[in-house]
Amino acid sequence: MHVLNMTFFPSQTKNAWKFPGGLSDLGENIDETAVWEVFEETGVRSQFRSLLSIRQQHKLPGAFGMSDMYLICRLSPLSHHINLCTQECLRCEWLDLSELAETSETTPITSRIATLLLYGLDNGFHDIDLTMKQLPAVYPGSFYQLYHRRLPEV
């Protein structure tokens, strides 16, 4: 399996492979942000599958004085042609997932997520995916998205 990866500009981080990503706009759901950011940075259209993991950090210089939560989503590509956004990164290409998990030219989180994806491919994603279910809120006409592991079939 191949995954889409980009290299950041060296001024933002070390010149390393990473997954596309970005900030959510006010009122934008996790799935919408993930699909949009991949398209904006790479030109690849995709479909949301699940939330894979959450990383939390505190006191980062680029986090506007706030704690930072980084949500990593699993998407399926709907297109494969890359149209690189040169303002966001230096390179963008499809990489073999097993190579990405082993390379030293990546960030620790990218390597870990590549390993998690390999596990999902070998053993099924039911053990690692957090799927999304839209549920009605207590306020009439309002809804929220709940992310959780799939319930066992009964």
pLDDT for 21-57, tens place per residue? 888 999 999 999 999 999 999 999 999 999 999 988 8
Q: What is the pLDDT of residues 57-91, one digit of tens each?
A: 888 777 777 888 889 999 999 999 999 888 888 88
Query: What is the phi/psi pair of residue 55, to 5°?
Result: -110, 135
Q: Which residue has the higher pLDDT, 153 or 109?
A: 109
What whole-number distance in Å separates Cα of residue 40 and Cα of residue 22?
10
Both tokens of 23, joined, read: 């900030």
Nearest to 1 by CA among 145, 118, 143, 119: 118
Q: Of 55, 68, 63, 57, nearest to 113 (Cα)?
A: 55
For this structure, is 37 an active site residue? no
- At 62, the amino acid letter reads G
Residue 145 tokens, joined: 């998205």
- Domain boundary assignment for the chain: 2-128
The pTM for the full model equals: 0.85
Q: Residues 28, 32, 40, 102: which is the catalytic one? A: 40
**Predicted local confidence at residue 54, as pLDDT:** 92
Q: Phi, psi at residue 142, to the nearest 5°?
A: -105, 150
In CATH, the number for domain 2-128 is: 3.90.79.10
pLDDT at 11: 42
Asked if residue 12 lies in contact with residue 61, where contact means CB atoms within 8 angstroms, the answer is no
Sort residue 37 into left (φ over 0), alpha (ψ -120 to 50) or beta: alpha
d(CA 46, CA 94): 14
